[in-house]
Amino acid sequence: MQPTRIIVIGGSAAGAKAAAKARRLDEFADITVIQKAPDLSMASCGYPYYVGGTFNDRSQLLCTPAGVVRDPVFFQKAKKIAALVETEVTAIDRAAKQVRCRHVKTGEERALGYDRLIIATGARANMPPIPGIGLAGVTTLLSMADTDYLRGVRDAGQVQQAVVIGGGLIGVEACEALQSSGIQVTVVEAVDQVLTFLDWELAKLVENHMQAKGARVLTGIGVKEFVGKNGALTGVRLADGTVLDCGLAVMAIGVRPNSDLAREAGLAIGAFGGITVNQFMQTSDADIYAAGDCVEIPNRITGAPVFAPMGDLANLEGRVAGENAVCGNTVTFPGTVHTGICKVFDYAAGSTGLSEKTAQRLGIEGFTTAVNASPDKPGFMGARILVSKLLVDRDQRILGYQCVGLGDVSRQIATAAMAIQGRLTVEDVVNADLPYAPPFSPAIDHFITAAHIAQNKLKGRMTGIGVREVWNKIQAGERPFFLDGRNPSEYKEMHLGIGETLIPMGALRSRLAELPADKNAEIICFCKVSLRGYEAECILRAHGYTNVKVMEGGIMAWPYAKKKG
């Protein structure tokens, strides 16, 4: 019996994982990985941290956990997989079940036959035809070559100013890497916020933190052209005519599926330009599978196809594709809930599921949100404030969660992601049995507290109002009665300066006469995190006030300017 011939096009996350899984399940399969780049199995999510000097050994981007570089020799000796690097697949002949390929340096061409083919060609950077984009000094951060170039710029120390175009995950990580290396960075984002997977008010907190770390962030403006001299970049001209002087520009406005090879072979392509696959990671050709950033997968909440170019998903998809290529369609990949996280200097920002703006765009009605600002652990264990936002549907099922702050964001996002995938409701979560000890969390975990806030709102025990809505009221000239329930020392240290009245919680019952005489007047209560704001609402409701709201998240969720003294 002839061994099964498996060819994998692409040797990064999805391709390498697919090949390794196939080998583990079939010792005698003839497996070949074809990779256009010179490197294999790159830890691409680590690129910004090598650029920024978090670690200095380049080989760590290519190593196994045991420290062995994953090069063709490793693949052959450890995996019995032939890895052809610097080799480009130029065409897929489905009728003949062959791939034609060419060595990128020698030009040598050959054809290889397959029984099963796995396409893992990844994604390519969006590079719109902006004038001057070909100048030396304009780059992306998508490949090892980009990473080597940017690390070289950092180490040379000759660039003082850089512009990062795009405020998404890669843009924010590139900003930190360069700013931390002593380069003054300006981030330019065409929409009105960074990190569009967050709702605006949380993204603004991230932006504020970036500014506090020395980076400059410009939102709501695009790039008109790259300016240069003698073929080298000297600046970036914005849409309003402003020129930002710089010797380096990083294009980070997203990626698109690298699906040309599949399209030319006649495989089905989706609305986002990714290869269409079923639950088995199988394409429209039964003998061809695809995985990674070149495919479209289902959103597990909406069921709709989405493009989700994330390193963890690529590995999981590759694992499924590799197993099915060997064993037949025995395992499935269910899709994504769009879970992601990034480091932003000392901050972290993460999300899972749907944001409020996405729910609105999808026409989901009757949902409820809850904003929670609270510590990630007790104060005596060095608590750090997290700000999060929970989204639940009309049936109280958890649809989405976002979290930002200096504390352990990853734990919160991981818990929420499993709650979403398990289709849990608020009532399921409010009494969830999560691990507790003071070094790790408060007695009631931050995520559970968010569920408590949602439960109070759903039961009509709390009426919340978001910080952006409060700000819009102020800008519109409305003047609700703002009740700050903190103590005088807290107020002196920091306050909002929006005409608030300071009445400490302990004195509220004895100072009700200072509130509006009209018990139908709008009163907005808050404190540092609005726990005391909620307690104030309970007291005022009991005393007959009918239009009381709690500013969710309190001062810690306020993304606008604050005052001291």
pLDDT tens, residue by residue, 250-266? 999 999 999 999 999 99
Tell me how far apart the alpha carbons of residues 262 and 317 are, in angstroms, rounded to a whole number: 17
Same domain, 444 and 413: yes
Q: Which of 551, 221, 212, 167 is nearest to 349 (CA)?
A: 167
Same domain, 318 and 283: yes
Tell me how far apart the alpha carbons of residues 404 and 559 are, in angstroms, rounded to a whole number: 12
| Domain of residue 472, CATH code | 3.40.250.10
Tell me how far apart the alpha carbons of residues 381 and 385 are, in angstroms, rounded to a whole number: 12
Q: Where are the alpha helices (DSSP H) in 187-328?
A: 200-212, 260-264, 311-327
Q: Which of 327, 348, 366 is the last residue of a domain?
A: 327
Direct distance between the N- and C-terminal alpha carbons of the chain, in angstroms, rounded to an integer: 83
* 332 in any annotated domain: no
Same domain, 221 and 293: no
Same domain, 52 and 154: no
* 564 in any annotated domain: no
Same domain, 186 and 98: no
* 169 in any annotated domain: yes
Tell me how far apart the alpha carbons of residues 342 and 349 are, in angstroms, rounded to a whole number: 6
* 562 in any annotated domain: no
Same domain, 79 and 104: yes
Residue-wise pLDDT tens digits, 511-554: 999 999 999 999 999 999 999 999 999 999 999 999 999 999 99
* 410 in any annotated domain: yes
Burial (0-12, 13-18, 19+ Cβ within 10 Å), 395? exposed
* 132 in any annotated domain: no
pLDDT at 564: 87
Q: Which of 299, 327, 355 is the last residue of a domain?
A: 327
How far does CA 124 lie from the centroid of its chain? Answer: 18
Same domain, 149 and 243: yes
Q: Which of 206, 161, 167 is nearest to 182 (CA)?
A: 161
Q: How many domains does the chain have?
A: 4
* 287 in any annotated domain: yes
> Tokens 């009532």 map to which residue?
427
pLDDT at 565: 72
Q: Which of 364, 368, 366, 358 is nearest to 389 (CA)?
A: 368
pLDDT at 1: 75
**Secondary structure, 3-state, 23-46:** HHHCCCCEEEEECCCCCCCCCHHH
Q: What is the mean pLDDT of the chain?
A: 97
Domain that holds residue 102: 5-124+256-327
* 469 in any annotated domain: yes
Same domain, 449 and 474: no
Same domain, 112 and 51: yes
Q: Which of 405, 432, 458 is the last residue of a domain?
A: 458
User: In angstroms, what CA-CA distances link 300 with 155, 357, 358, 422?
Assistant: 43, 18, 14, 11
Q: Which residue positions in the chain have pLDDT lower than 50?
A: none
| Domain of residue 164, CATH code | 3.50.50.60
Same domain, 79 and 19: yes
Same domain, 479 and 386: no
Same domain, 14 and 48: yes
